Amino acid sequence: MFKTAVGQSENPSAKEAVQEILMQIQTSIGDTIPKAGILLCTTNFDHSQIITYIRKALPGMELVGCTSDGEMSSVNGFCDHSVVLMVFVSDMIEIHAGVGRDLHAHSREAGMEAARSAYSRMKQQRGNERFAIIFSDPTDIGASDVDFGIAAQLGEAFPLIGAAAAEHPKQRTAYQFYNDEILTDSAVILLFAGPVCFSFQAQGGYAPLAAKAKITSFARYVLYRIENDHALAFFERTVGEGYSQFMTYCCAIFEEGLKGFCLRRVNSVDPKLGSISLNGSVADDAWIQIGVTDKTSVIASCNSSLRDAIEAYPGTKPAAALVFSSARRKTVLEGETVHETEIVHEYLNDIPFAGFYSFGELCPIEKGTVPRFHDTTFVTLLIGEA
């Protein structure tokens, strides 16, 4: 047995919001105490009170989550300021939370700590870990080694799907939630083990402006040469603008042997070296394609992510879905953000779902490959019992 339930409230009162959410959840699972839950909410709520009320009402439930730049769920759809709680009930699947701290200074070690702390609580299903959901501090997440730390504990190319915490533009700090704690500079995970089915798909929204070109010299996220040109000269020739405008473009990074890609943005340039720094690291033998993100490409990628995840799902019908969309996509959609949630409803019908707008997404490009940081991307994760 594997069941999920979702609650969502826009009530500004922490107590009343949690009461409303618990009533919604109880209509699906009754008085059963869930094994684990995911909490998503914007930064203008009293997180301490919300967590206290949830933990008191659902004792023993392991809790992770983060702040967001807007939430979506199967209950109320898209909301700019709300609280969302998704809970999981199962008699066979084990689900445990983990946390890694000091992420900015020691990202690999933080990943190892998060995986180790979740794995250490596994009992009957130890050794049958299938995937993990991650919520991370957004600072330098594109250059973080947190995924390598998790892989060191759980295995190379272990499926890791999630997103970086976010906040509304007027706020300054994004938070991560771990049981009773409200954290920064951390990564929290929810580790699933046992007879669980899942599928995922990340799809970036961009329209190409030029052909793919080989990255011939780079160091992590700094591009020095593309084909036979300095990276800066290549960009200037491709987009026909000064480098002050490069941040408005996106870059699709293709890896050798993979059909998919991950999106990056330009963070900075160095005119003296002729180099360009991206907001995420680059793999060996990679190609780059410069493009733009518009409403059409955002909507198309949302459709593709959901459709491909559903087609790849190995079971009969998922019991739950999680979706993560980039806050930059929300900006591109302007007042039409609700369209993404409407598309999710169309594809999932009566399947409970929850998600949020993030400051970067984490997901493998394809099944069996290592997780990658994504920008301006829509990620779908489907979960059910095997």
**pLDDT for 239 beyond 90:** no
| pLDDT reported for residue 140 | 83
pLDDT higher than 70, residue 170:
no
First-residue to last-residue Cα distance in the chain: 10
Mean pLDDT of the chain: 94
pLDDT given at position 158: 96
> Given pLDDT bands bounded at 50, 70 and 90, which one contains residue 172?
confident
Tell me how far apart the alpha carbons of residues 299 and 318 are, in angstroms, rounded to a whole number. Answer: 23
Report all structural domains of the chain as residue ranges with CATH numbers, in order of start: 2-203+298-385 (no CATH), 207-292 (2.40.30)
Which pTM value belongs to this model? 0.96
- pLDDT of 72 reads 97
pLDDT digits (tens, 9 = 90+) for 59-108: 999 999 999 999 999 999 999 999 999 999 999 999 999 999 999 999 99
Chain-centroid distance, C-alpha 315: 23
Structure confidence at residue 248 as a pLDDT band (50, 70, 90): confident
Q: How many CB atoms lie within 10 A of CB 282?
A: 21
pLDDT at 285: 94
* Res. 171 pLDDT band, cuts 50 70 90: low
Using the predicted structure, report yes or no on whether residue 179 has a pLDDT greater than 70.
Answer: yes
Q: Is the pLDDT of residue 57 over 90?
A: yes
Cβ atoms of 310 and 381 within 8 Å: the answer is: no
pLDDT in tens, 141-169: 888 999 999 999 999 899 999 999 999 87
pLDDT in tens, 4-39: 999 999 999 999 999 999 999 999 999 898 999 999
Q: What whole-number distance in Å separates Cα of residue 145 and Cα of residue 150?
A: 9
- Average pLDDT value for residue range 251-260: 94
Is pLDDT of 371 > 90?
Answer: yes
pLDDT band (50, 70, 90) for residue 136: very high
Answer yes or no: are the C-beta atoms of 63 and 37 closer than 8 Å.
Answer: yes
Contact partners, residue 56, CB within 8 Å, separation at least 6? none
Res 335: pLDDT: 85
Mind listing the pLDDT tens digit for each residue in 310-359? 999 999 999 999 999 999 999 999 889 999 999 999 999 999 999 999 99
pLDDT for res 238: 87
* Contacts of 170 by beta carbon, 8 Å cutoff, 6+ apart: none
Q: Is the dihedral of CA 146, 36, 40, 332 positive or negative?
A: positive
Averaged pLDDT for residues 295-307: 97
